[in-house]
């Protein structure tokens, strides 16, 4: 018997060394785990989803926001309600104290977490499609009339953009590096241009911010591809997927999944459709691409392993569980308060638990908490015993999944035409009988949708050398 372990999915490499497919699974330390399908938590927006976010105020309550081309909406337990009406080409958000600043592609908008109201951001800020909070400043970029200019507010004042004032508000034209494509905040800022990555460091008046170049040959090709996890910022460049730690740019998709991604999607689709977010609990970066179905690329930051999903989603963003009102509780538990399994002061009802959220093709926001998706893993095409033809007798998944479908592509010569042989149904001992012979073997394991399982690590193959008994 020989165990064929399911190692990393790196489709850019030769199929002799790594998994050729890892669909609808989550990378794990010793294999892969199931992923659940989309489950709605909101009703549909009254328009096409153009961005979303969720934020927690000082009192601990959460606000889930989503925008369309004509409105900014807030979701409160059971319905969307418009909090601002105005044209927008995108909605990107950053929190500044009790305010959420939204970059719309035009005039920025503010949402007051304490009051639950929204209005144009004061202080004559520039048009912006990008926003971040850097120390005690709001930083804006993406003005269509000044694509290489970064602007920051006055100190600790989100609505002070008086460049001739005394509160350190200012701007800077970046003469090289091209259009600004992304911003990231924190103790220092990061500016991602088409051809460069730069660090924005606070040094105080009169300079206010010092701008240093991190990379002059790697930049960001799509605004929606930027996602931040602490000090790490992930993005898609012309050379593939990268991250920066504020000191260097490090490739993560080179000879792994860059060619797979660029071969699957056009440049136009990438620039218009890609979105990104980091799940803070799972330590996984999600990049979504809309389609029929849409695709979601997963990258586990710690394990440095990838996989992908096929889902009818078009966007991903970070969020929190929303506050649940008494009216919403009535809808959720129509049998009355006595039927609620939790105390009314349980944190579940007050909101604020971190989530990774998706918008589907119907402009409904939800989570991946439905039934498990159909999982498919295709192993490398390998010689179990180099130079020897083998007779396969049985296959056994190294998994707690049952009623799987298993097949092998078995060939005498690696360059032969595909020759798929399906195994029989599972026996009581967990084995799947099969009769096939050849040298080069590539197993395919499919776990049906809605199956109950927790892990899969590989396949045990029982065989004998050809000619043996």
Environment class of residue 55 by beta-carbon count within 10 Å: exposed (0-12), middle (13-18) or buried (19+)? buried
For residue 330, pLDDT over 90 is answered with no
Distance CA(251)–CA(242), nearest Å, equals: 4
The H or E element spanning position 171 is strand 170-173
The H or E element spanning position 259 is helix 258-264
Distance CA(132)–CA(174), nearest Å, equals: 17
Distance CA(179)–CA(270), nearest Å, equals: 17
- Evaluate whether 234 touches 278 at the Cβ level (below 8 Å): yes
For residue 47, pLDDT over 70 is answered with yes
Percentage, residues of the chain above pLDDT 90: 79
* pLDDT tens-place string over residues 14-29: 877 799 999 999 999 9
Tell me the mean pLDDT in the region 355-366: 93
Tell me the mean pLDDT in the region 142-165: 96
| The two three-digit tokens of residue 332, written as one number | 């959720």
Tell me the mean pLDDT in the region 275-304: 94
For residue 281, pLDDT over 50 is answered with yes
Q: What is the pLDDT of residue 240?
A: 97
For residue 199, pLDDT over 80 is answered with yes
Distance CA(394)–CA(464), nearest Å, equals: 11
Q: What is the pLDDT of residue 138?
A: 98
* This prediction's pTM: 0.90
Q: In angstroms, what CA-CA distances link 267 with 237, 240, 276?
A: 11, 12, 16
| The two three-digit tokens of residue 89, written as one number | 């080409």
CATH 2.115.10 given to domain 2-35+374-465: no
**pLDDT interval class at 467 (50, 70, 90):** low
Tell me the mean pLDDT in the region 151-156: 98
Least confidently predicted of 210-214, 285-289, 312-316, 339-343: 339-343
Look at the block and give the residue holding tokens 């959460």. Answer: 62
Domain 2-35+374-465 matches domain 36-323+332-339+342-372 at the CATH topology level: no
Task: Give the CATH fold of the 36-323+332-339+342-372 domain.
Answer: Methylamine Dehydrogenase; Chain H (2.130.10)
* pLDDT tens-place string over residues 388-406: 898 999 999 999 998 899 9
* pLDDT tens-place string over residues 81-132: 999 999 999 999 999 999 999 999 999 999 999 999 999 999 999 999 999 9
Q: In angstroms, what CA-CA distances link 12 with 21, 28, 239?
A: 11, 20, 14
**pLDDT interval class at 320 (50, 70, 90):** low
What does the DSSP assignment read for 304-366? Answer: TEEEEEEESEEEEEEEEPPP--HHHHHHH-TT-GGG-SS-TTSHHHH---EEEEEEETTSEEE
Domain ranges of the chain: 2-35+374-465, 36-323+332-339+342-372
């Amino acid at each position: 018997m020989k165990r064929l372990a399911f190692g990393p999915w790196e489709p850019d490499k030769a199929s002799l060394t790594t998994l050729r497919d890892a669909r609808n699974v989550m990378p794990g330390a010793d294999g892969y785990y199931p992923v659940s399908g989309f489950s709605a938590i909101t009703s549909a927006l009254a328009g096409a989803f153009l961005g979303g976010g969720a934020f927690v105020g000082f009192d601990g309550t959460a606000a889930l926001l989503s925008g369309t081309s004509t409105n900014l909406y807030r979701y409160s337990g059971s319905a969307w309600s418009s909090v601002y009406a105005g044209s927008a080409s995108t909605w990107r958000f950053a929190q500044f104290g009790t305010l959420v600043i939204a970059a719309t592609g035009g005039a920025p908008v503010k949402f007051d977490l304490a009051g639950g109201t929204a209005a144009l951001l004061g202080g004559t800020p520039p048009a912006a499609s990008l926003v971040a909070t850097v120390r005690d400043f709001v930083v804006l970029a993406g003005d269509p009339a000044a694509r290489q200019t970064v602007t920051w507010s006055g100190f600790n004042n989100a609505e002070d953009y008086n460049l001739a004032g005394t509160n350190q508000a200012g701007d800077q034209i970046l003469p090289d590096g091209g259009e600004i494509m992304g911003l990231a905040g924190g103790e220092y800022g990061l500016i991602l241009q088409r051809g460069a990555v730069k660090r924005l460091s606070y040094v105080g008046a009169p300079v206010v911010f010092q701008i240093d170049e991190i990379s002059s040959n790697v930049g960001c090709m799509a605004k929606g591809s930027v996602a931040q996890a602490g000090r790490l910022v992930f993005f898609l460049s012309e050379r593939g997927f990268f991250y920066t730690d504020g000191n260097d740019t490090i490739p993560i998709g080179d000879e792994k999944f860059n060619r797979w991604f660029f071969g699957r999607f056009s440049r136009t689709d990438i620039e218009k459709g890609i979105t990104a977010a980091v799940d803070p609990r799972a330590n996984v970066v999600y990049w979504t691409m809309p389609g029929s179905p849409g695709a979601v690329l997963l990258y586990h930051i710690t394990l440095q392993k990838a996989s992908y999903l096929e889902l009818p989603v078009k966007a991903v963003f970070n969020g929190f569980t929303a506050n649940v009102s008494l009216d919403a509780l009535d809808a959720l538990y129509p049998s009355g308060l006595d039927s609620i399994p939790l105390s009314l002061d349980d944190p579940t009802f007050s909101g604020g638990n971190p989530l990774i959220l998706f918008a589907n093709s119907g402009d409904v926001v939800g989570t991946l908490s439905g039934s498990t998706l159909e999982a498919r893993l295709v192993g490398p095409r390998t010689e179990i015993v180099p130079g020897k033809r083998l007779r396969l007798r049985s296959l056994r998944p190294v998994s707690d999944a049952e009623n799987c479908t298993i097949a092998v592509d078995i060939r005498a010569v690696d360059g032969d035409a595909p020759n798929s042989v399906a195994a029989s149904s599972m026996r009581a001992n967990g084995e799947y009988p099969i009769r096939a012979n050849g040298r080069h073997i590539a197993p395919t394991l499919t776990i049906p949708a809605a199956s109950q399982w927790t892990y899969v690590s590989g396949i045990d193959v029982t065989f004998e050398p050809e000619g043996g008994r």
